[in-house]
Amino acid sequence: MAGVLVRESGLGRRALSIDVVAGREVALVDVLDRLLADGVVLSGDLTLAIADVDLVHLSLRTLITSITGEEEQ
Amino acid sequence: MNADACYTYAVARPFDVATIGPVRGVDDAAIRLFRYRDIVAVSSAMPPEAAEEGALRTRLETLESMEAMARAHHAVVEAVVERAVAIPFRLATIHHDERRVIGMLRHGHAEFDATLNRLAGRVEMGVKVYANISAPPPTSIVASVSDSPGRDYLRTRRVERNQRERGSRQAVDVAERVDAALAESAVERALHRPQAARLHIDRAENVLNAAYLVEARDLPAFHTLVRRLGSDAPGVRIEVTGPWPAYSFASLDSGGEP
């Protein structure tokens, strides 16, 4: 069975929704897909310079472990 | 002279920061703009001890504190894109002081300007396609009608696995079709890596995790297209999120990092 589920982003007042799931906030994992893997990355002059892969990997491991209670190797 | 470090959320076209009202930054810090010509950095102050690498690392390694930072970051960026075209920054982009933020604007002005022009009037839509795995047959019934429960168990497992593999192959085909049609309708497309099945509420297998840059005025058509593709695609579920700030399309035009 096919279905289309639409979530509205946090302040997405511009959202034209098909089937907005009421009251559901933006999933953390969708936010992290964007904030950790995307967004402008600058080099130099920053207080913290973690390689992209490290940051994504580290955070997803934290996320998965926290949500499922599973120990990652 | 300010000794605080600067957390930067985005670079944007100038807007009135007073209209941002109750929105605060990471650690509830006030939002400030640094302007250079026709662009601004949207930032907030951070005490130097919180901005140093060790403290940040610790913060990013703990889900609660990372989530708080990510949500604050996202809230600021959302507030900004409601007021001006903006280029969202990566989480935890922190300069040692405001002088360096202004230096970033000055050195990167041409790239920021070109990127802002590219993103103007456009939004990001997230689309995820999941394989709809049918429920496994009740193993207890199969086992009870046979004198070889061990073999039946293995057969059931094999059937389940085959179903799953067929389902996921079919879903991948559907996802490719969906993606091709959406990419065609969008200005740009970016692929994220599929999310782990255990992050999903139903543990569904994520076969496509994509973002599309869409003209804001074409959003109704985009939604119509997704709905049509969804009703046309057996065996999958399609989830749409957005509109998002253009995180997935924020790479700076014409290279040259400041």
Q: Give 10-residue mean pLDDT values along chain B (258 residues).
A: 84 96 94 98 96 85 86 96 95 91 94 96 95 55 60 82 78 92 96 80 85 97 94 85 94 60
- Spell out where chain B has E strands: 5-12, 31-36, 39-46, 86-88, 94-95, 122-131, 188-191, 205-215, 236-244
* Side-chain half-sphere CA neighbours of B100 within 13 A: 19
Helix (H) or strand (E) segment spanning residue B193:
none
Residues 27-66 of A with CB under 8 A from B: 27-48, 50, 55, 58-60, 62-64, 66
Distance, CA of B101 to CA of A47 (rounded, Å): 12
Check residue B193 and give its pLDDT. Answer: 83
**Contact call for B247 and A47, based on CB within 8 A:** no
Taken in order of first residue, the domains within chain B and their CATH numbers are 5-120 (no CATH), 122-247 (3.30.70)
ipTM: 0.78
Query: Confidence band (pLDDT; 50, 70, 90) for A25?
Result: low
Residues B66-97: tens digit of each pLDDT: 889 999 999 999 999 999 999 999 888 999 99
Torsions phi, psi for B131 (to 5 deg): -75, 130
Nearest to A62 among B66, B94, B216 (CB): B66
Q: Which two tokens stand for residue B119?
A: 């993103």
- pLDDT per residue as tens digits for the range B203-225: 788 899 999 999 999 999 999 99
Mutation to test the B interface, candidates A21, A34, A42, most B Cβ within 10 Å: A34
pLDDT in tens, A48-62: 765 544 555 566 666
Q: Do A42 and B235 count as a contact with CB atoms less than 8 A apart?
A: no
pLDDT attached to residue A57: 59
Cross-chain residue pair B243–A42, CB shorter than 8 Å: no
Contact A9 B241 (CB under 8 A): yes
B3 burial via Cβ count (<10 Å: 0-12, 13-18, 19+): exposed
Instruction: Record the pTM.
Output: 0.79
